[in-house]
Amino acid sequence: MIFKLVAVAAVLFLVYLIFFKKGREQNIKDKENNSISDEMIECKTCGTFISKDEAIISNSSYFCSKECVK
């Protein structure tokens, strides 16, 4: 009786490893790739580094704030 319970538990554990572990590994890789995509650039006026997504673009140059654009 105990052998049957251990065998069923082992089979369920193997099924878990086969089907769900690959999904977790893929999610971890996707999160790592997303965190690297943020690029830092330097403000043309003051030299401060800022995220490219948050920068202000004027005349093909990147600035950190409206004061630096003027």
Q: Where are the domains of the chain?
A: 1-37, 39-70
Please provide the CATH number assigned to the domain covering 39-70: 3.30.60
Mind listing the pLDDT tens digit for each residue in 7-25? 999 999 988 888 877 666 7
Mind listing the pLDDT tens digit for each residue in 33-69? 655 567 899 999 999 999 988 899 999 899 999 999 9
Q: Which residue do the tokens 């971890």 mark? A: 28
Enclosing H/E stretch for 62: strand 61-63
CB within 8 Å of 66: residues ≥ 6 apart: 56
